[in-house]
Each structure stands twice: as structure tokens, then as C-alpha cells.
Homo-oligomer: A and B are copies of this chain.
């Protein structure tokens, strides 16, 4: 870890689009970033593009970001932990299997919900995470200090941090990412089959179809790993989708106007309520102080509780007490969520205090 006068040091393993963007963003914030990639040319390119200060491993790293493909993530994370390269976090799209394989207090699972139609380090962008949701998946074994450090760094890159359990994360991304991707590819595939006999079809595809199938243009290489790692959740959501489409089919076939309108109206309201990525930071903030025992799991419990309540944590800090066995957790949240959080924490046996901020 670094003294206040030192330049903070980070490691990046895997310098593709996400790893490269992390490197650029960290360097813009004053970090010294060392990174590598199993493809040496890619690491050299990351250095050339200014995403790294140096190619290699940094034994002095305070935080190491592992941004390798999902299939080799567990091995990459374990290697970084074994080499003692500080707190280790990853950016993989599936979290539960990894959490099961890596049980180390220095590890904090993560998943930035940001991507780009660009691929590879040449598409890297220091601003990729600004306003994006960055999921962290602390578990009972995660060291609160490491979680707070990773959270603070990720948040400094402009991301909104949400904490959920690894299993919950996987169920959620199956619903809002993995199955939508497979569905877009399926729709595109059906249209392409139809187009083989009639190319006019694709000329009739207006904006809505283009929007819906845009993600199908991405490279498929990452998907076999994602589908293998998150198989259970994906199959469960596909079953739900097939069931719901069957219901839609019956509704259309029966010309049941009211049921159709009702279903579409609910979808419309839900879509309009989808939070905007560029949501402005609210002006009214409140600080919640929670005395907590210095034991494993408390941090994960409180942050995932905030996640369940859909409360956005703008800032988080852990203040250790002089005695060392207790500390105070400081959370900065929207003032309007103060009572909600206080109530939830009281219900879980904590003794929080809430104070409005400036």
C-alpha cells in the first residue's frame, strides 16, 4: 500500500478494451499503471496508447485489475493473489463460479456494465466508465478494507458502484444482458434465414429492428465462456422468455386486445422508468454512520442491503475505532433515501445515524 506522498500503483492483467480503458482512466487520475497481456503485441500497443506506464508485473501494486477472458479469469486472479499484487478485482461478466473458485479476503469480484462496439485496446477510452454502473460482489470472506479501497478507485473513475451478491449478479445479468444478447442473435438469425430467399426483407428493417439487433454485431468469441459459466441462470431466463412469448402468441391469436394493451403498457412504463445512464448526481446527500463489528461479512451485508433497496451509495469509507475490533462505516447516499436505509439497518440490528450533508 502507498504512503500519501507516493504515486499510487496499479496492475492490469489483460489489456484489451476494458483493461486498456482502466489503464487510461487510472493514469488520468495520477496512477502508475503496470500491465501485461498473454498477447505481447497487445500489451505493447497498450503502452504505446498510454494505457500503461510499463509492461510487466508490479509487486508494489495497491490494486490489480484482472481483465482477462471469463474462461481464464479464475487462474489469472489466483496468480495475481499468489504473487501478492495488492487487492485484486476482476471485470468478468459472470461472478458466482469465480467466487466459488477464489476464496480470498484480498479478492473483490467486479463487473463494469460498460462496453463498446469497438474491440481491443484500440477502442480503449478513459471515459468508458463515466456514469456506468460498476457492480462489486463482496462476499462474507471479502476484507472490508479491500472492498472500500476497490470501491473508492472504481468510483473515482466515474462509475456508480452497486454491490450485490455474486449469485444475484448472475441472475440479473442473465435477464438484462445474456438472454437479450442471445435473443438479438436469434431474431437476426431468423431474419437472415428469411432473407436468403428474399433480400428485400432486410431493406424493410427499420430503426427498431436495427436497435434490437445491434448487439448481435459483436464478436461471438466471449459467449461460449459466458454461457458455460452462467448456464443455470441463462437457461432459467430463456425458459421464462419462451413461456412469456408463448403467452404473447396466445394473446395475439385470440385477438385479446385488452390483454395485449395491458402487457404493452406495462412494458412501456418500465422502459420509460429505466434509469438514465447519464443521471445527474443529486444535490441533497446524507451521510449514514454505522458502527460495525470488525468481522467478515458486515460490509458485504450492508452494501448488498443498499443494493436490494436500490439505494445508490455515492461514497463509502471505513473508519476504524481505536480499539481495533470495531469500526464505523460511513455511507453517502441520497438524502431522500435516509429513512429507508436507517429503517433497513435498524431491522438488521445495526445502530445507524443519518445526517444531511451541506
Residues of A within 8 A of B (CB): 113-115, 132-133, 135, 160, 162, 164, 168-169, 172-173, 175-177, 179-192, 194-195, 198-221, 223-224, 227-228, 231, 234-235, 237-242, 244-246, 248-249, 252-253, 255, 257, 260-261, 263-275, 277, 307-310, 312
Interface centre among A208, A219, A239, A241 (most CB of B within 10 A): A208
How far is A297 from B40 in the complex, measured between Cα atoms in Å? 65
Beyond A172-B194, A192-B270, A198-B308, 19 additional contacts (C-beta under 8 Å) are A169-B204, A172-B200, A177-B209, A185-B267, A187-B241, A188-B267, A189-B270, A190-B237, A190-B244, A191-B270, A203-B310, A213-B274, A214-B271, A216-B264, A227-B255, A228-B255, A235-B252, A241-B245, A242-B242
CB atoms of B238 and A249 under 8 A apart: yes
The count of identical subunits is: 2
How far is A209 from B221 in the complex, measured between Cα atoms in Å? 20
CB atoms of A189 and B263 under 8 A apart: yes
CB atoms of B180 and A187 under 8 A apart: yes
Q: How far is the CB of A95 from chain B (nearest CB, A)?
A: 12
Interface centre among A202, A211, A239, A271 (most CB of B within 10 A): A271
Chain B residues near A187 (CB-CB < 8 A):
179-180, 183, 241
Smallest CB-CB A-B distances: 3 pairs? A199-B310, A220-B264, A192-B270
Point out the residue from B186, B248, B260, B268 that lies within 8 Å of A244, measured CB to CB: B186
Chain B residues near A169 (CB-CB < 8 A):
204
Point out the residue from B172, B182, B207, B257 that lies within 8 Å of A201, measured CB to CB: B172
CB atoms of A189 and B242 under 8 A apart: no
CB atoms of B245 and A202 under 8 A apart: no
How far is A181 from B191 in the complex, measured between Cα atoms in Å? 14
CB atoms of A231 and B255 under 8 A apart: yes
Closest B residue by C-beta to A219: B268
Q: How far is the CB of A128 from chain B (nearest CB, A)?
A: 11
Q: How far is the CB of A194 from chain B (nearest CB, A)?
A: 5
CB atoms of A177 and B162 under 8 A apart: no
Closest B residue by C-beta to A195: B270
Closest B residue by C-beta to A308: B198
Q: How far is the CB of A134 from chain B (nearest CB, A)?
A: 10
CB atoms of A268 and B238 under 8 A apart: no
A172-B201, A200-B172, A275-B202 as given contacts; A241 in contact with B208, CB under 8 Å: no
CB atoms of A267 and B186 under 8 A apart: yes
